[in-house]
A and B are shown apart, each in its own frame.
Chain A
Amino acid sequence: MTALLTMKNLRGGYGDSDILFDLSIEVAKGEIVAIVGPNGAGKSTAMKSIFGLLDIRAGSIAIGETDITGWAPNRIVKAGICYVPQVKNIFSEMTVHENFEMGAFLRKGDYSAALDRVYNLFPDLRTKQKATAGRLSGGQRQMVAMGRALMLDPQVLLLDEPTAGLSPKYMEQIFQISRDVRDSGVAILLVEQHAKQALAFADRGYVLAAGRNRHEGPASELLADRHIAEMFLGG
């Protein structure tokens, strides 16, 4: 397996204090990798580090063979990484359609095919194109957020808690869409609060605690490990 996204021995944080101490994560094309761990473990911070939102003091981030450590966000997007943050992940004052247009901001020429694909993934949104995104329900807002990130046909998709606060129905729907996206050849890295469900659906997993890798491996093995279940998955 050759990794598409590689985070190697990252150390860094916000300002002077370190949040990540020695973090290494790899994601290959066509796989879903879940990061789980307790609150404040640094899961979101790990994702933000890719987009240069924190001071990285050691280690490196690469996409394919290209080192992208410290790149400006718009260059990282151009390199094929799209990111759905945990909070504030839509343009809430703009319409659903405009959110998708912003997702396609870096595309040159006609992007109606990408738009059509996104509406096919999220058929509920087809009738809401002109609606202000911030007025939609929580599940629909999450779909807008994912749709925006998919407009560029990314190679790597970063999802930070895509199912937080959603009903089981929406949660299953988001997971199913993620599988479809993976099967189209995208590498997906996601952070999940619902650790058990996430490991049940991901291919591989990382358990993070206090800014370090604690366990990693095939998701089914992590899920079956009694020790991990007791410590991190709520029994």
Chain B
Amino acid sequence: MDMHSFINFFLLPGIVQGSIYALGAIGITLVFAIMRYGHFAHGDLATFGAFIALAFTTVLGLSPYAALPLAVLATGVFAVALDRLFYAHLRAMPKIITTIASFGVALMLRSFVQVVWGVNTTSYTRGITRPENWFGIRVKSHEIVTLLVAIALVVALHLFLTRNKWGKAMRAMSDNPELALFSGVDNGKVIALTWIIAGGLCAASGFFLGLNTELKSLMGWNILLPTFAAAILGGVGRIEGAIVGGLIVGIAEELSVLVIPGEYKVMSAFGILLLVLLFRPTGLFRGKVL
């Protein structure tokens, strides 16, 4: 295999898919860092975000890219509402209860999407986008946008967490929750902030999944396993880990086609998850143990 086809058929699609996983995995990692449970409704929340963006394009007649920021915002607020409604009153109980509750929320979200938008596949735009050809590297415009927006979101999040007072409060809450309380941090606000960010990033991941493939009610559920694998591979609670983990899982999935049939791509995420849990449960960046 020559260099160009490696990049065009494996590396590039892997990076695009990996960025989508990374956006979801950052949310999973943040929710765990602050609230200490695995959020299994994350995939279906991504589906919800993707379809909210679709609604903005059909109802308001916006272009998909104009619908994205609105969907990010709406899903962020929606995630806060979900937390208030379904998770907030479970806070003092063992975390496994909230994890199971999040499975219930996942089912509700999926049913909601199916009732409102049906079960058929659809897409943001009709027709086929032709790839641009740059020195033999073939890349589609929406792939470039996916990468650029993912990078911009990650940089913005990094700046927020390292420069902003509330961003630092989030890190403090993840680092030492009791001491954050003793410093006067209101954990209710930190939790709301966490959901806005996790929900917004989740919508972005769903949107880009829809843009690069298609929209369907099971789209988010189908990426839940690779997204979790990415978060755990990177080290739960580690944002840089979620990004690296996402890229590794995305690229590994594309490369797996060389040895296993394409339909079993998702097996590679499963394999990575299994290996990490067995041999390095803290992940690459020494995260918290689930």
Query: Could you list which residues of chain A lie within 8 angstroms of chain B, going by C-beta atoms?
Result: 51, 53, 73-74, 77-78, 82-83, 85, 88-94, 98, 101-103, 105-106, 148, 152
Query: Could you list which residues of chain B lie within 8 angstroms of chain A, going by C-beta atoms?
Result: 165, 168-169, 171-172, 175-176, 178-186
Q: A88-B178, A88-B179, A89-B179 are in contact. Are A106 and B168 (CB under 8 A)?
A: no
B171–A85 touching, CB < 8 Å: no
Cα distance, A226 to B184, chains bound together (Å): 43
Beta-carbon nearest neighbor of A145 in chain B: B179
Q: A93-B171, A98-B168 are in contact. Are A85 and B178 (CB under 8 A)?
A: yes
A85–B182 touching, CB < 8 Å: yes
Q: Can you list 8 A-B pairs, Cβ within 8 angstroms, ordered by A? A: A53-B178, A74-B184, A74-B185, A77-B182, A91-B175, A93-B171, A94-B175, A105-B184
Q: A73-B181, A74-B184 are in contact. Are A105 and B165 (CB under 8 A)?
A: yes
Q: A91-B172, A94-B171, A94-B172 are in contact. Are A105 and B185 (CB under 8 A)?
A: yes
Q: Which residue from B176, B181, B184, B186 sits with its C-beta under 8 Å from A90?
A: B176
A83–B182 touching, CB < 8 Å: yes
Cα distance, A106 to B182, chains bound together (Å): 11
Cα distance, A78 to B285, chains bound together (Å): 36
**Residues from chain A with Cβ under 8 Å of B168 in the complex:** 94, 98, 101-102
Q: How far is the CB of B92 from chain A (nearest CB, A)?
A: 12
A102–B172 touching, CB < 8 Å: yes
Beta-carbon nearest neighbor of B182 in chain A: A83
B178–A77 touching, CB < 8 Å: no
**Residues from chain B with Cβ under 8 Å of A78 in the complex:** 184
Q: A73-B184, A74-B185, A78-B184 are in contact. Are A105 and B169 (CB under 8 A)?
A: yes
Cα distance, A100 to B168, chains bound together (Å): 11
Beta-carbon nearest neighbor of B162 in chain A: A98
Q: How far is the CB of A10 from chain B (nearest CB, A)?
A: 19
**Residues from chain B with Cβ under 8 Å of A105 in the complex:** 165, 169, 183-185
Cα distance, A82 to B178, chains bound together (Å): 13
Q: How far is the CB of A94 from chain B (nearest CB, A)?
A: 6
Cα distance, A91 to B177, chains bound together (Å): 9
A77–B184 touching, CB < 8 Å: yes
**Residues from chain A with Cβ under 8 Å of B183 in the complex:** 77, 102-103, 105-106, 148
Q: How far is the CB of A91 from chain B (nearest CB, A)?
A: 5
Q: A98-B168, A102-B168, A105-B169 are in contact. Are A90 and B185 (CB under 8 A)?
A: no
A51–B182 touching, CB < 8 Å: yes
**Residues from chain A with Cβ under 8 Å of B169 in the complex:** 102, 105
**Residues from chain A with Cβ under 8 Å of B185 in the complex:** 74, 102, 105
In addition to A94-B171, A94-B175, 8 A-B residue pairs with Cβ atoms within 8 Å of each other are A77-B184, A82-B182, A91-B176, A94-B172, A102-B172, A102-B180, A102-B185, A148-B179
Q: How far is the CB of B93 from chain A (nearest CB, A)?
A: 14
A92–B175 touching, CB < 8 Å: yes
**Residues from chain B with Cβ under 8 Å of A102 in the complex:** 168-169, 172, 179-180, 183, 185
A92–B176 touching, CB < 8 Å: yes
**Residues from chain B with Cβ under 8 Å of A88 in the complex:** 176, 178-179
Cα distance, A89 to B172, chains bound together (Å): 12
Beta-carbon nearest neighbor of A83 in chain B: B182
Q: How far is the CB of B40 from chain A (nearest CB, A)?
A: 26
Q: How far is the CB of B176 from chain A (nearest CB, A)?
A: 5
Cα distance, A208 to B183, chains bound together (Å): 28
**Residues from chain B with Cβ under 8 Å of A98 in the complex:** 168, 171-172
**Residues from chain A with Cβ under 8 Å of B175 in the complex:** 91-94
**Residues from chain A with Cβ under 8 Å of B184 in the complex:** 73-74, 77-78, 105-106, 152
Beta-carbon nearest neighbor of B166 in chain A: A105
**Residues from chain A with Cβ under 8 Å of B171 in the complex:** 91, 93-94, 98
Beta-carbon nearest neighbor of A81 in chain B: B182
Cα distance, A88 to B178, chains bound together (Å): 9
**Residues from chain B with Cβ under 8 Å of A85 in the complex:** 178-179, 182
Q: How far is the CB of A216 from chain B (nearest CB, A)?
A: 26
**Residues from chain A with Cβ under 8 Å of B182 in the complex:** 51, 73, 77, 82-83, 85
Cα distance, A220 to B180, chains bound together (Å): 37
**Residues from chain A with Cβ under 8 Å of B178 in the complex:** 53, 85, 88
